[in-house]
Amino acid sequence: MVEAIKNRPMLADRSRWGGAASALLYIALACMPQAQAAETHEFKLDNGMRVIVQEDHRAPVVVSQVWYRAGSVDEVNGKTGVAHVLEHMMFKGTKTVPPGQFSRLIAAAGGRENAFTGTDYTAYYQQLEKSKLPLAIRLEADRMANLELTEEEFSKEIKVVMEERRWRTDDKPQGMLNEQFNAVAYHAHPYGRPIVGWMNDLENMTVADAREWYQTWYTPSNAILVVVGDVDPQAVYKLAKQHFGKIKPHALPPRKPQVEPKQIGERRIVVKVPAELPYVRLGFHVPVLQDADKDWEPYALEILAGVLDGHASARLNQNLVRQKQLAVEVGAGYDLIQRGQVGLFELEGTPSEGRTVAELEEALLNEVERIKQEGVTEEELQRVKAQVIAADVYQRDSMFYQAMQIGRLETTGFSWRTLKHYPARLQAVTPQQVQDVARKYLVKDGMTVAILDPQPIDPNAKPKGKPYAH
């Protein structure tokens, strides 16, 4: 499946994107789940594959994930969507496991499994009773080395992917807008292309394209096995060595730097599609984390997003929804972790009945301007920090979430050890730094605006696509 949200927080899947009472902070850290106190173990196989194991002995369950450092950011024009297509094809069988058998074996073992493709990575996961971990590792190693890509299976699955694109994008007004928004915000960087791919590329894709992607990027030296659960780290390493260790690696092609030229003026786009409500989305080019120990601006931007959004009393919701009743929904978002080394700070909203997107856009920008001129208070900052960190701590109670944190950090070029320093880095952010990043980056010359202009809905129209799950 295509990763549902391209820009997401590094650590916490908050109610919107942001977050934040000093007292809550200390309570949250004091109540950190036992899982986080467990030691994390890291191994490396002779073929270059890395294995990261985090113990969590609260239940006899294990989450196993294989992450490949290959996503839509690595694609080229004319072959967009191939990373996601290959994700689908990974369930279509090997020499010893027929098409569909992978999923049936995991289900028969009482587990669940799936996969997802993002801009920076592709990942495959299973969640099982701990004694079934050898099954998951054996099956994953088999399809890493022995996937059979046939014309027959490809011709069927590419149609499924096109249906998924229709369902997720063509049938969804905001899906259409988001795709156009990214294409306008990024003129040169591959983040401007949809993860699912342009329809024309999918229509012209061949099994040879999928095979080339598999043979290029699916090698143990470009993969990470992440295991979280009620396991013995040495036993997991032994299993990984037994099944993955015998796979021969191959050299990866050089990854050339891809940068986005500096934006030198405001960009606007209007998307006219059948929809019930109008919508506006604003994006500003901002830096992302490059040095987790030295950078401060990304952490300040993360806090800025929390000041604007993330809880009931945050500025956007309090001022634009509750007080002025300008909007039925508002949001702010920023993701400081991106392998592509570029990022956007985003604002969004749906105007209330009788109000216009122009009014809402002006109101969103006015809230930013207030921070530029007046800054934020220390008390407000502490509330935000507390909620951001508390949300992260509580979500780490999930084994799957723990594995997701580790896998995403590692495939985007950071160490899982970054997790240990994240609360301290947020705590170090000052009110002046929040005001400084707002003034420096949230400027109109670096802004992209996308407006959804709703067109009449045909009551007899049928959906163009249908949902899909492996």
Active-site residue, from 55, 87, 153, 361: 87
Query: For 410-425, b where at least 16 C-beta lie within 10 A, e where not — what string?
Result: bbbebebebbeebbeb
Rounded to whole angstroms, how far apart are CA atoms 192 and 182? Answer: 5
Please check whether residue 179 is in contact with residue 194, taking contact to mean a CB–CB distance below 8 angstroms.
Answer: yes
| CA–CA dist 170, 157 (Å, integer) | 19
Query: Residue 447's beta-bridge partner residues?
Result: 284
**Cβ atoms 17, 332 nearer than 8 A:** yes
Of 364, 313, 310, 314, give the one whose Cα is nearest residue 333: 310
β-strand partners of 63: 127, 228
354: left (phi over 0), alpha (psi -120 to 50) or beta: left
CA 235, CA 238: separation in Å to the nearest integer? Answer: 5
- The yes-or-no answer on residue 348 being catalytic is no
Of 249, 285, 271, 214, nearest in space to 70 by CA: 214
CA–CA dist 230, 227 (Å, integer): 10
Specify the length of the chain in residues.
470
- The residues assigned a catalytic role are 87
